[in-house]
Every structure is written in C-alpha cells, then in structure tokens.
Structure 1
Amino acid sequence: MAKLELFGGEKGGVGKSFVCRTAVQYHLDRAIEFALFDADRSNPDVKRIYSSLGCREAIFSENEKHEDKAKSIYLTAIKKQTLVNLPAQIINPFQDWFEKNELFALAPEDGVEFVLWFVCSGGYDSLMLLKQYFKYFRGQVSYVLVKNWGICDDWESLDTNEYLQSQIQEYGVRVIDFPKFIGNRTRNIIDEKNLTFGAARENREFDSIDRQRVKSFLKKAYLAFDDAGVFQIASVNKPIPQHLENNGLVNVTESS
C-alpha cells in the first residue's frame, strides 16, 4: 500500500514546511522512492528548494475552476509514496477535496493510505485545530502528531488535555518529538539560499560547526522518525487501476 503523506497543522508558523523538508531529506538519504508536491501558494518554499526533484504545485480550493488542481496528488500516490506540503487554513477546501472525490471510498480499492501529519506548536489555537482534525477525519486516516520543540518547550497543555489524549489513544496516533535546530543564523542562511539539508551539511561556505549542526539535527530528526515508525513501508510502483484509466486520468507526470 502506497502512502500519501500530508504535512499540515492548519495554523501558520508552526513549522509545517520545515518538517516536510526534513522528511524529504530522510527519503533522499534512505533512497526511498517518492513524489513531492507543494500546495502552499503563499510560501512555496518546498517547491523552491526541491524544484530540481520535480516538486510540483497543487491547489486545494473550494472554487470549482480549481477542482482538478489537486487530482494529480492522489493519482501519483496510487503508484508511489507521495509527500505533500500543505498550507495553513486548509481544513475547509481539504474536506471538500475528500468529499467531492469520495476519496475515503476510493482509497482502499486503489491501495492508498492517507497519513495526516499535524505539526503542533503546543498553543491553545493549535490544540483546538487538532480537535477539528480528529472530529472530521476520525479513524479514516493515519495520524502523526509532531510536537515541534523548535517552537515550544512546554507541552503540558497537550499532555494534560484529557480529550486530546483520549483521541490520540483511540486513533493510534504516532507522536514525534521533533528536535530544535540549533543555530538561528545557520537556519536563516539555509532558508535564504534555498538549500536542501543535504546541500547544507556539505556546504563549504559554512564552517565546521555549522555543518555539524545540520548533521546533528538530521540525526535527531531521523531517530524521531524511526522511533515512531512513520516511514517503515517503502513506496511501491504499480499500474493505475482500470477504473481510472477509463476516466482518462492516466497522464500523470511523476517526480523523479
């Protein structure tokens, strides 16, 4: 079964794209085949950084003229593991996409598993938005809850929230302690120059401490991914099912 990894969190500034970029580097370093999309039109930094990998844009919108803009995400996920960077405030068009295309009914037939990554800041607004995700998606997706320690270092509000903890238990949510990147200047340069983490850790414009910071961050992040078991199943290639071929939806350009 191929996985459609959707990196969100609904609230802006919680580190969604930073987590997604780290996951991309994980796949590259582990030689896991994948496709990549960026659905954040306001700040498509994932597309800017990974355009050479064939990262494509996608649009989730309730506007009917954009109704097919996100279709290639699902069609690609049928054939290989697919990573998607989501924008903030996506919940309404996101629900619309699932409902209009009846994706929860199609997914078992097509062998697609939805994995919803919720990157959390630990703040009240972020926790309330997490409640909305649980209320809508319930047990129809797999969840990864990312406690972003680069944003927050006190998680008592989440850890003591009885409702959220009950939902985490009920839906088998995998929880990740995502490490803080040490060195704001180093991180700012990485972002300013649109560097991949792989390029940054080898960049001779950085001194040895800067490069070591990148290596140390990736090591900690990869351990967190592995401990949670989020990427244990590699993607698989398989033909597009007959019911999609008959609808003329076979022309999907794959990322390399």
Structure 2
Amino acid sequence: MGGVLRVEALWVETFTGLRMEGFARLVRAVRERCPERPVTGRPWCLPLADRVLLVAVYYRTNLTMRQMAPLFGVSSATVCWVIQRLGPHLALAPARARAADVERVWIVDGTLVPVRDRSVAASSRNYRFSANAQVVIDADTRLVVATARPVPGNTADAHAWRGSDLPAVCAGTTVLADGAYFGTGLVVPHRQRARRPLLPLQEDDNAEHRRVRARVEHVFARMKNHKILRDCRLRKDGLHHAVQAVAHLHNIALAT
C-alpha cells in the first residue's frame, strides 16, 4: 500500500512548517552528513527526501509510529528505524564565528520538556517528569546558536549551564540570562537585597534586560510548535537529537 505524504509543497508546508526552499535546504544538509544507502543491509525503502520528511513530520506532530506508518506506506518498524538513524543528522550545525568588530549579544535560558524516559528526567516544577534543555539564541536574529544535552528537570539552570559545553561555545560573547544564572558570570538582572531598594538606573537596566531577554521565550514558543517538545516519548539520546533537530528546523523557517 502506498503512502499518503509525499515531498510536495502542500504536504511539506502543512506538516513541517517549512517552505519548499527551506525543506530542500534541510535535505541538502542531511545528504552531506549521511550516506544515501546503508553501509550494510538492505537499501532504504524510501528516498532520502521522504525519510527527511518523515522525521520532520514526526517531530512536528508527535504522532505514534503506528500512526506514521500508513502515512508513508511503510511498517512501524521502518518508521522507528528511520527516526533513530536519520534524527541525529538533522541536528543544528555549530555556530559560525562572526566578524570580531561586530558586537554579539546572545541569550540563554532553559525550558522543561516532559519526557517518558525516567532515566533522563525528574519530577519538576511543571508537576511532570521533565528534562531541562538549555538553549542559546542570537538576540538580533532570534536564531538558535547552540543547545546543550538535556539534564533532569530538577537541575537548576546555573548547574545545567556549568555542566554543559555552552560556556565554551559562548566564550568571548555577551550572554544575557535571568536571575537563575546568578554567579555564573553571565549578564543577569540587578538583585534587590533586604532593606536596599534598587536605584532608578538599576530599575531601568532591569526593564531593558527583561525586554531583550523575552526574545528567548518567543523562540521557545515557536520551537514548541513541534509537539515532540511537549511530550517526548523517545528514549536515551532521543530527546537530545529532537531538540537539536527542532532548533535546526526553527532556524531554517526563520531564514526562508
């Protein structure tokens, strides 16, 4: 039985949120990272573009693999295999260095992603077993610069930051963060201490800080249009690959 979804403008734009030129850019990036046919075993039953569409649709809709199978005319086992093998190749590319004379401002924050796998999650303040995913964005373009490997959701943002590779990625860059990152060396709001109210200039600084830092919340809202980040059923490194891929999809959607 043939599948329903094909690499056509209607299906791509409806089920992935990408325009055709953006989807073609994604397929080119995956083709450069992954061989067209497996090194061993049988060849894929779907062409590369259809496999990329399958993974993107899965991240966008969070349908079960049994629901995905008839849409592409394959078995649920094939859907699982494609997601496991191709998902890591949709990951966000490393941040590119910019001109030294350009002042860069990045923003970091963490978001909680509900996860079924208890080995990578913990009971969190959203009253669910979740993981803490740290994300860095560019304040000007709102593109995702980097993401960290998710940690259990009860991990404080400051500890998640220190334990990740993000400090090395952000070295030499001005990075804004909220008060949860106090003591990390990032630019955080002025703290009001007991019986020591903030000065008017400090209040103005905090207001401007909140205005700029709100952009990362807008990015989280756009990323969570991909329902995989609202209830992730993947195990082990599956969430890490999903966050990286969704960040990549978000960047492509903004750039096209």
Fold conserved between structures, TM > 0.5: no
* TM-score of the pair, normalised by structure 2: 0.24
How high is the TM-score relative to the length of structure 1? 0.24
Q: Using CA pairs under 8 Å that are at least 6 residues apart, name the structure with larger relative contact order, 1 or 2.
A: 1
**Rg (Cα) greater in structure:** 2
